[in-house]
Amino acid sequence: MPHTLANLHQARGAKLAVIGQPIAHSLSPRMHQPALDEAGIDARYVALEVDPGHVADAFARMRALGFIGCNVTVPHKFDALEACDEIDDTARDLGAVNTVRFDSDAIRGTNTDGYGFEMAVEESLGLELPGQTVLIVGAGGGAGGAIAAHCARRGVKRLVLANRTEAKAETLVARLRKRHPRVDLAAIGTDDETLLTSLAAGCRLLVNTTSLGLREDDPSPLPPGCLHENHAVFDTIYKPTALMNAATKAGARCANGSLMLLHQGVAAFRYWFPGTDPEAAMRRGLLG
């Protein structure tokens, strides 16, 4: 069971955490704890349920208890950016924070989502981002915005951002267009299924960064007509989802977010413990 801010002091030996809501599904402890043990680091990694609006409180509480750092997941990545004293260029460019380090002089943040995404797409789908055509669903959120920014930085040819609130996708497109004028960018609302299907047809890689799929009864974020056998589909959620089932039925190549979780976690671990090599232990803990 995850801990809360109220009972965090009872988590004996806890020095690292993942914060989010919901958080009980998180596989991060299963991945990070073996890496800590193998490295001989005397610390526990725990899941911490944090209500929206309480990220700064969580940081203060963890820091007071001597935590080394934490990972940040839905829905806190924007609030984490604001709650840090310092952020690096990657977090600044990607517009969100998913990894925090509690140093003696400051709370510092970075973002390893883009790196984790790229490594996972290469390993699981055999695709390289430069020159790619990509549609991202859920580009108004922390992970979606970070992945979109990373794709633009890596020189994708075309990038379509779809979001339930189209204005959020348009805002992100405007920001990315200023920084990456060579990338063909477009924004769309997910309620326009005809246009969404048309734009999806022109993209090779389709990516879900929404939270649809965290619950068993969640629908697919993309209508079935969007999917065909020439697509590669990447779902950042790391368990079976309606999107993954639909992609499989359409004959598309598909992968879930487990390898993204692995690779972003490796980068986060190295952010906390420079010079370490945790990948093998983390891979065993996560993938078996």
Q: Residue 276 and residue 35: Cα distance in Å, rounded?
A: 9
Residue 278 lies in a domain: no
Q: Do 254 and 217 have their domain in common?
A: yes
Q: What confidence category does residue 93 fall into, taking pLDDT thresholds of 50, 70 and 90?
A: confident
- Identify the residue whose tokens are 């007071």: 64
Annotated catalytic residue within 15, 77, 168, 178:
77
Burial 198-220 (b: 16+ CB within 10 A, else e): ebbeebbbbbbbbbbbeeeeeeb
Q: Do 101 and 145 have their domain in common?
A: no
Q: What is the pLDDT of residues 20-68, one digit of tens each?
A: 999 998 999 999 999 999 999 999 999 999 999 999 999 999 999 999 9
Q: Do 35 and 139 have their domain in common?
A: no
- Residues 6 or more apart whose CB falls under 8 angstroms from that of 128 comprise 122
Q: What is the pLDDT of residues 203-253, one digit of tens each?
A: 999 999 998 888 888 999 999 889 999 999 999 998 899 999 999 999 999
Give the domain range for residue 200. Answer: 114-259
Q: Do 157 and 211 have their domain in common?
A: yes
Residue 274 lies in a domain: no
Of 221, 258, 257, the C-alpha closest to 236 is: 257
Q: Do 104 and 195 have their domain in common?
A: no
**pLDDT of 280 strictly over 90:** yes
Residue 254 lies in a domain: yes
**pLDDT of 139 strictly over 90:** no
Q: How many domains does the chain have?
A: 2
Residue 77 among the catalytic residues: yes
